[in-house]
Amino acid sequence: MLLSGVVSKSLHYEFAPLTSDVKMRAMEFWTLLVLFGLSILDSGTADVSDGVCLAGESDYEEGSLVIRLVRDKAGIWTTSVVTNDLLDDSINGTAVDINRKLFECNGQEVAIIKAVIAVPKKIKKYQLKFYPSGAKNVIVSKDGLTATRIDIEDEGNAGVLTDNPLDNEQLFEVKLDKVIDLYTSSIGIGISRFTPESSPYPHWMSSGTIMLYNNQVFEEEVIIKQLYATNLRALKVGDRIGVMVKRNGELHFFINGEDQGIAKTGVKYEVHGVIDLYANAVQASIV
């Protein structure tokens, strides 16, 4: 997207419509863009239009400011500001290049400001992983994608959270790699208000969690929905189960890609994904 304008007595911009995923970030840059132009505002007037009084290669002062909003490998958004730099098409985020040209036109100082907003066609999504450690009876693989219950005779103590919070509309989904047939229950999946570092193992189930076990939804160990979904007890190796928080705060669970409906509303706070390799569930990997 290109914003351009001529500054003399007044400031005017013409710009194409922004896509919805860029609108908010563009607005954040607006104040900075105006401040960048304040230093070159002039009280006089100038007759400047396309093809008239254009600056030559050597008779103007030029400055450039690039603002980058980039998502790093850890999934964290960072903002940086640099001068006299070029936009990098490979950035994993949004960048704004503000260019100023200052020159004389009919005895007046005139500035042309152009701002280019660069947005990659597709921003790479961070690969969600399990936190390296969880409850005492679970181990996480080196790549962070697989969790395994250590002692299968101990049916519990095998909860583990995701390393990063879940974004709205982000599906946290795992695939069952190994199951046994000894118990009447199986894997649990859900969300936690706690971070992996602060989760109160072994009492994490009663502290800020909403979980799906079998076909019941639990909030801090209290059943809030009965007969909610297909019973997880029936899941086999290769089956997938997931959880997602919608932008409107609805919590949904998924079984083999099929939305099981609204499990809870009002989830407007930051959460981590969590699985519990409980009972018959021995190993699962993030899809």
Q: Kindly state whether residue 259 falls inside one of the protein's structural domains.
A: yes
Asked whether residue 74 is domain-assigned, the answer is yes
Q: Which of 138, 233, 148 is nearest to 185 (CA)?
A: 233
What is the mean predicted confidence (pLDDT) over 250-273? 97
In a domain, 124, yes or no: no
Contact assessment for residue 276 and residue 232, using Cβ atoms and an 8 Å cutoff: no
Q: Report the alpha-carbon distance of residue 245 to residue 287 in Å, rounded.
A: 17
Residue with tokens 């239009």: 49
Q: Are residues 92 and 174 in the same domain?
A: no
pLDDT value of position 81:
67
113 with 6, same domain: the answer is: yes
Q: Are residues 101 and 180 in the same domain?
A: no
Among the listed residues 246, 247, 243, the one whose alpha carbon sits nearest the alpha carbon of residue 257: 243
Q: What is the reported pLDDT for 153?
A: 92
Residue type at 238?
A: G
The count of residues in the chain is 287
| pLDDT tens digits, 159-201 | 999 999 999 999 999 999 999 999 999 999 999 999 988 887 7
Strand partners, 190: 211, 274
Looking at the fold, whether 62 and 185 belong to one and the same domain comes out as no
Could you tell me if 173 and 166 are in contact, meaning their C-beta atoms sit under 8 angstroms apart? no
Quick one: average pLDDT of 237-241? Answer: 98
Chain centroid to Cα 122, Å, comes to 13
pLDDT tens digits for 2-42?
444 444 433 333 333 444 444 344 444 444 444 444 333 33
Residue in 58, 36, 38, 60 with CA at minimum distance from that of residue 48: 60
Q: Give residue 177's domain range.
A: 138-286
End of a domain among 88, 118, 148?
118
Residue 169's contacts (CB-CB under 8 Å, 6 or more residues apart) are 244, 245, 246, 247
| Amino acid identity at 85 | D
Q: Is the pLDDT of residue 217 over 90?
A: yes
84 and 146 housed in the same domain: no
Domain identity same for 154 and 52: no
Domain for residue 101, yes or no? yes
